[in-house]
Amino acid sequence: MRSAFRSFGGCVLGAMLGVLGGCSDHSAPSLDVVVIGAPTAAFEDGVRLPPAAQLVRGATAEGLVALDAQGRVIPALADRWIVTDDGLSYIFRLRDGLWRDGGAITGDSARAALRQSLAALQGTALAQEFAAIDEVRAMAGRVVEIRLIRPAPDLLQLLAQPELGLLRGREGAGPMALSREGNIALLSPIAPERLGLPQPQDWAAGVRRIRLFSLPGADAVRRYAEGGTDLVLGGRFETFALAQSVASLSRRDLRLDPVQGLFGLVAVSANGPLGEAAVREALAMTVDRDALASEIGVGGWAATTRIVATGAPGDLGTIGERWTDLALDRRRTEAAARIKRWEAGHQKFPKLRLVLPEGPGGDVLFARLAADFAAIGVPLERAAAGSAGDLQLLDIVARYAHPEWYLAQLSCAARRGICSAAADARLGEALAETAVDKRAALLAEAEAELTSANVFIPLGEPVRWTLVRGTIPGFASNSAGFHPLPPLAERGE
């Protein structure tokens, strides 16, 4: 089946000549969407999902709430909810709808599905973020209550994540149905009346099917340049240079999501020299972050030495950037001395293996870090993504921007690498504290413990980009870095 714009040869030619500003046909019967990833990524299952599979999960299995195009929480299986004054109970009124097998969406069935989703998260970093849930109860009819052991002001944002899409058996309740054509995911809007919702007049004329492809970065960008799609999602720092080469045809096409999160290095194992905090700090000290910012080439990209994003809600501001009183050459002199002291008590410093994703951004990052580490006598070699290494790039977007999210990602329970039991203890105390000022102080102490332990080498903010031709209804850059498919299925005017 031809894609929406393939019917318009002039648009394809215009894309190749860089003059395609407004050729996108919003009335076409389908929209082709390309997501950067492995060709079969859209069909992966589980709870550690690649971007394409997250989009499919979010489209085919709604949670109690969902995210809209702007990244805001909106009703999904629950059409309304209330939060008690003490913040310890969230009560959801479910819509009068049906599961895909025809069964009614009830409090009992939704409770079972939510428990199933929460149980599946065990052993992941996301599971920690739901640790405040004490009990899920089914109340009369179509009502579900989530009771908490402590207030969780970001609970709705978490429940809107695609991993919390609710399943009955192995199927969600929509709002889109999935079929497969080779490696293409075909997602068709389900008629509202089949979901138990009011159906507007001429509903079918206002929606379209989405054909979702998952392709490696270079192939995705090439397809866009050749007019094979109007939308590329899932861009990260390692493929940003590829997008720049195409966006030079029309600079309006490249959009950056204003995300926050963690972008830096974690020490995978405490074996060898990385088992010493002083050595890990030496590596953090020697990085020329200003040079890295210039070489990555992302306008406005801010380097950082902090774990928690400056200005995050609840951040007291008592912890600032590190080594601001030391020029880079003085930092490297101190770092080199630490490496020499380690060698004096052990052996020649071994070559460290750094695990990075493929792509021009990964090449730039490796070259920068290899030069920086060499300046203090530390040899570095590159390891492919998925292989064993000594250092691993951590590149994740914050699901919510509060300090506890950042600290939980580096906790011992997250199992990302070296961790700090002392920081975990402060984080646990903070999460149990109901007084806002005391909670903030404990979170600051937890960040100070993690900083002192040097379990993470921060570099800057994550990079998330998209290629968008013209104005596509249902698309908006957002701080979640997530672009749900159901809004994209609306034809617009």
Q: Tell me if the pTM is above 0.85.
A: yes
Which segment of 36-40, 164-168, 248-252 scores lowest on mean pLDDT? 248-252
List of E strands, 436-479: 456-460, 464-468
Can you say whether residue 325 is alpha, beta or left, with left for phi > 0 and alpha for psi between -120 and 50 degrees?
A: alpha
Q: Three-state SS for 135?
A: strand
Q: In the predicted model, is pLDDT for residue 2 greater than 80?
A: no
Spatial neighbors of 154 by CB under 8 A, at least 6 apart, are: 129, 399, 400, 402, 405
Q: How far is CA 143 from CA 174, 272, 331, in A?
A: 19, 54, 59
Looking at per-residue pLDDT, the higher value among 248 and 268 belongs to 268
pLDDT in tens, 352-372: 999 999 999 999 999 999 999
The residue count of the chain comes to: 493
Q: In the predicted model, is pLDDT for residue 120 greater than 70?
A: yes
Which segment of 120-124, 392-396, 479-483 scores lowest on mean pLDDT? 120-124
Spatial neighbors of 73 by CB under 8 A, at least 6 apart, are: 65, 66, 67, 156, 157, 160
Domains of the chain (ranges, CATH numbers) = 1-61+174-258+464-493 (3.40.190), 65-170 (3.90.76.10), 261-460 (3.10.105.10)
pLDDT at 27: 58
Q: How far apart are CA 310 and CA 480, in angstroms?
A: 17
Q: Which residues pair with 384 in a beta bridge?
A: 356
Spatial neighbors of 84 by CB under 8 A, at least 6 apart, are: 90, 91
User: What is the rounded average pLDDT of the residues 231-252?
Assistant: 86
- Phi/psi of residue 250, nearest 5 degrees: -150, 100
Confidence class for position 247, pLDDT limits 50, 70, 90:
low
pLDDT at 4: 30
User: What is the rounded average pLDDT of the residues 438-450?
Assistant: 95
Confidence class for position 465, pLDDT limits 50, 70, 90:
very high
Q: How far apart are CA 122 and CA 111, in angstroms?
A: 17
Confidence class for position 438, pLDDT limits 50, 70, 90:
very high
Contact, 405 vs 153, CB < 8 A?
A: no
Can you say whether residue 11 is alpha, beta or left, with left for phi > 0 and alpha for psi between -120 and 50 degrees?
A: alpha
Looking at per-residue pLDDT, the higher value among 316 and 145 belongs to 145
Confidence class for position 401, pLDDT limits 50, 70, 90:
confident
Contact, 382 vs 359, CB < 8 A?
A: no
Contact, 14 vs 211, CB < 8 A?
A: no
- Which residue has tokens 């899920």? 136
pLDDT at 409: 93
SS3 readout for 30-41: EEEEEEECCCCH
Q: In the predicted model, is pLDDT for residue 429 greater than 60?
A: yes
Q: In the predicted model, is pLDDT for residue 22 greater than 60?
A: no
Contact, 67 vs 484, CB < 8 A?
A: yes
Q: In the predicted model, is pLDDT for residue 10 greater than 50?
A: no
Confidence class for position 7, pLDDT limits 50, 70, 90:
very low
Fill in the amino acid letter for 299.
G
- Phi/psi of residue 467, nearest 5 degrees: -110, 125
Looking at per-residue pLDDT, the higher value among 13 and 290 belongs to 290
Q: How far apart are CA 216 and CA 239, in angstroms?
A: 9
pLDDT in tens, 250-292: 678 999 999 999 999 999 988 899 999 999 999 999 999 999 9
Mean pLDDT of the chain: 89
User: What is the rounded average pLDDT of the residues 27-52?
Assistant: 90
Looking at per-residue pLDDT, the higher value among 98 and 377 belongs to 377
pLDDT in tens, 198-212: 888 889 899 999 999
Burial class (CB in 10 A: 0-12, 13-18, 19+), 398: buried
